[in-house]
Chains A and B, each alone.
Chain A
Amino acid sequence: MTNFIIRRLIQTVIVIALLSYFCFYLMTLMPGDPVDLMIQSNPRITSEDVARLRNLYGLDQPTYVRYWNWMSGILQGDLGYSRTYRIPVSDIMGPKLVNTFVLSFASLALALIIAIPLGVWSALRAGTKTDYVIGFFAFSGVSMPSFWLGLILIIAFAVWIPWFPAGGTETIGVDHGSWWSIVTDRAYYLVLPTVTLAYISIGRFLRFTRSAMLEAMRNDYIRTARAKGLSRVVVIWQHGFRNALLSLITMVTLSFSGVFSGATITETVFAYQGVGKLVYDSIIANDFNVAMISFMISVSMVLIFNLIADIMYSFADPRISLS
């Protein structure tokens, strides 16, 4: 077990290193560099200035040298400097990253809390009206674009019935208040974007739970459990769901790896200070350091949650041993 984890961690580090080089290389292939942007905004710049600036930033060096400089900075905790915002990457990304994680995890949790019981219920009532109604609900979420659903929610619950703010992340000045008032203020702003994100992902989780549960309940051991006199609730949850959980674990854990990038559109609709818009802008504006850090986080999330899925699976299914 420990051996397996160590081996996989080493693999993960190697894959991240390779992918980071690949991403870095792709970035250099993009037309233009930061100096080109400076030229555009300064008509009096001379070609000597351009050469001097390229040399100053190291842009005249080959890719692997630049990669090496960048990587050694990262390893020493220096994430570089955002050329667009003119502050360190960690300063601009840190708070936004936290905001995105809060939003994504909240919506994932909400989606799962709703999808799993409904999926189980739907499976137990397969082919009945209940099943169809739940199925309709699931597909309605899947088929709605998030920007549209977000706008509808804003119109309904921020304009017509002004329960929630139409957008933003927190009330200006709230960070001077008590710890509790900050949390409730944040929660208040989170409701609409969380519901939007949750609703569009419920369908996937719900239908998956339904089919996993249907399959589990068809097994012979369900009949055995009932023949032992166990009550329906025990049979469903301890025997049926316990087995359906095996395939759910993989899907849920892997969908955690998407929380970083999955919220961009919703964040934009709600003017939520997340990382999605920042990443998009950084790529367009050639803000190299911000973009690279974003890639690194995306890549690491996928790899790490894959590893977590494998480990959790071995705990849930006694037939699988990692050694």
Chain B
Amino acid sequence: MSNPVLSVRNLETTFTTKLGPFRAVNGVSYDINAGETLGIVGESGCGKSVTSFSLMRLIEKPGRITNGEAILNGRDLLKLSESEMEQVRGGEMAMIFQEPMTALNPVLTIGRQLDEQILKHRHVSKKEARDRSIEMLRLVGIPSPEKRYEAYAHQLSGGMRQRAMIAMALSCDPKFLIADEPTTALDVTIQAQILELIQDIQEKFNMTVQFITHDLGVISEISDRVMVMYGGQTCETATAKDIFNSPRHPYTVALINSRPKFGHRVDKLQTIEGSVPAPHELPRGCPFQNRCPNALEICKTNRPPLEKMGANLVACFNPM
């Protein structure tokens, strides 16, 4: 196995609330290799976004990273000072967000928002930053980029805004990109274009990507490997092919079965029984126990470790 670009170990992010502290991310470990795309899937509230924000160190109060390490290119992100972290954010590591509608500042031009990042990370003149910004806008397929450079967010469509966000994220040649549901808020046709764009760019610049989504279709299309999360923990990690062809964790199986199948008309879509427990009510042991068809006694008391089962890494005492 090649050297991982990012290596996360036992990441733990805790939110202190009136109902007591809860771990939104509870001991997550994974690696991403150079040039690889890791897809992270899970339901809302499973901790996939918090994992990404923890890597960026953008967790706001009352949240706090309470344990673990995240080694990016040999440096532990969680131990960097705030000013070192500023250099990493937007430089070595960049992030694109779910909502292109609100993720851009409405009162600053697109160009201004691109320029400020380039000026922060590169020692260039304003003129050079402008040229670079326009070049980036062209690269992500925005027509007449010189004009869009002067535009404000409200003058662009949703797809164009997401392209501008991508241009921004890529403007300082990050080696590692986090995409947090970048296509969720977009129309299906635009979704496909944006996915294609991310794949193109990844190949062109040999970028490593962590792609977060709850859409299994998107995951199968874009990722090399997939990590399934539930209740702040990793359920299963495997290659995209193995996740869909031979899932082992009962949650992964349930998730895949709940996708409507093309060409099969059914009266009722399949769902996973029960609902995600509230974060502060997560049970001891396996977080999925109350909805799991395979649950054993031991699941109630012990947390299953992530172990190799066939080609997959699975955290389950009684896998499928």
| Residues of A near any B CB (own CB < 8 A) | 219-221, 223-232, 234, 238-239, 242-243, 246, 316-319
Q: Any chain A CB within 8 A of the CB of B88?
A: yes
Q: Are B58 and A223 in contact (CB under 8 A)?
A: yes
Q: Are A242 and B90 in contact (CB under 8 A)?
A: no
Give the distance in Å from the alpha carbon of A1 to the alpha carbon of B82 in the complex.
45
Query: Which of chain B's residues have a CB closer than 8 A to the CB of A223?
Result: 58, 97, 103
Q: A223-B58, A227-B94, A238-B116 are in contact. List 13 more A-B contacts (CB 8 A).
A: A221-B103, A223-B97, A224-B97, A226-B89, A228-B90, A229-B90, A230-B86, A231-B120, A232-B82, A242-B108, A243-B105, A317-B106, A318-B109
If over half of B's interface residues share one DSSP class (helix, strand or loop), that class is named, otherwise mixed; here it is: mixed
Query: Which of chain A's residues have a CB closer than 8 A to the CB of B97?
Result: 220, 223-224, 227
Q: Any chain A CB within 8 A of the CB of B104?
A: yes
Query: Which of chain B's residues have a CB closer than 8 A to the CB of A225?
Result: 105
Q: Are A220 and B152 in contact (CB under 8 A)?
A: no
Q: Any chain A CB within 8 A of the CB of B270?
A: no
If over half of A's interface residues share one DSSP class (helix, strand or loop), that class is named, otherwise mixed; here it is: helix
Query: Which of chain A's residues have a CB closer than 8 A to the CB of B88?
Result: 229
Q: Any chain A CB within 8 A of the CB of B302?
A: no
Query: Which of chain A's residues have a CB closer than 8 A to the CB of B103?
Result: 220-221, 223-224
Q: Are A228 and B102 in contact (CB under 8 A)?
A: no
Q: How many residues of B contact A (CB 8 A)?
A: 30
- Of all chain B residues, the one with the shortest Cβ separation from A246 is B107
Q: Are B56 and A227 in contact (CB under 8 A)?
A: yes
Query: Which of chain A's residues have a CB closer than 8 A to the CB of B117?
Result: 228-230
Give the distance in Å from the alpha carbon of A227 to the alpha carbon of B105 in the complex.
13
| 1/0 contact string of B7-46 vs chain A (CB within 8 Å) | 0000000000000000000000000000000000000000
Q: Are B105 and A239 in contact (CB under 8 A)?
A: yes
Q: Are B99 and A229 in contact (CB under 8 A)?
A: no
Query: Which of chain B's residues have a CB closer than 8 A to the CB of A224?
Result: 97, 103-105, 165, 168
Give the distance in Å from the alpha carbon of A209 to the alpha carbon of B60 in the complex.
22
Separation in Å of the A309 CB from the closest CB of chain B? Answer: 17
Are A319 and B152 also in contact (CB < 8 A) when A227-B94, A230-B120 are? yes
Query: Which of chain B's residues have a CB closer than 8 A to the CB of A318?
Result: 106-107, 109, 152, 154
11 A-B interface contacts by CB (under 8 A): A224-B97, A224-B104, A224-B165, A224-B168, A227-B97, A228-B90, A229-B88, A238-B108, A239-B108, A318-B107, A318-B154
Q: Are A242 and B107 in contact (CB under 8 A)?
A: yes
| Residues of B near any A CB (own CB < 8 A) | 56, 58, 82-83, 86-91, 94-95, 97, 99, 102-109, 116-117, 120-121, 152, 154, 165, 168
Query: Which of chain A's residues have a CB closer than 8 A to the CB of B106?
Result: 221, 243, 317-319
Among A221, A227, A230, A234, which residue has its beta carbon within 8 angstroms of that of B104? A221
Are A230 and B102 also in contact (CB < 8 A) when A224-B97, A318-B152 are? no
Query: Which of chain A's residues have a CB closer than 8 A to the CB of B120?
Result: 228-231
Q: Are B168 and A228 in contact (CB under 8 A)?
A: yes
Give the distance in Å from the alpha carbon of A221 to the alpha carbon of B95 in the complex.
12
Q: Are B121 and A227 in contact (CB under 8 A)?
A: no
Q: Are B105 and A230 in contact (CB under 8 A)?
A: no
Query: Which of chain B's residues have a CB closer than 8 A to the CB of A219?
Result: 102
Give the distance in Å from the alpha carbon of A238 to the alpha carbon of B97 in the complex.
20
Among A220, A239, A316, A317, which residue has its beta carbon within 8 angstroms of that of B99? A220
Interface centre among B107, B117, B154 (most CB of A within 10 A): B107
Nearest first, the 5 closest Cβ-Cβ pairs linking A and B are A229-B90, A229-B89, A228-B90, A220-B102, A228-B117
Are A228 and B89 also in contact (CB < 8 A) when A220-B102, A223-B58, A234-B116 are? yes
Give the distance in Å from the alpha carbon of A317 to the alpha carbon of B105 in the complex.
11
Give the distance in Å from the alpha carbon of A316 to the alpha carbon of B105 in the complex.
13
Q: Are B121 and A221 in contact (CB under 8 A)?
A: no
Among B91, B105, B109, B154, which residue has its beta carbon within 8 angstroms of that of A229? B91
Give the distance in Å from the alpha carbon of A207 to the alpha carbon of B106 in the complex.
24
Interface centre among A221, A225, A229 (most CB of B within 10 A): A229
- Of all chain A residues, the one with the shortest Cβ separation from B104 is A221
Among A229, A232, A317, which residue has its beta carbon within 8 angstroms of that of B107? A317
Among A226, A229, A246, A317, which residue has its beta carbon within 8 angstroms of that of B121? A229
Q: Are B107 and A227 in contact (CB under 8 A)?
A: no
Separation in Å of the B193 CB from the closest CB of chain A? Answer: 21
Query: Which of chain B's residues have a CB closer than 8 A to the CB of A234?
Result: 116
Separation in Å of the A221 CB from the closest CB of chain B? Answer: 4
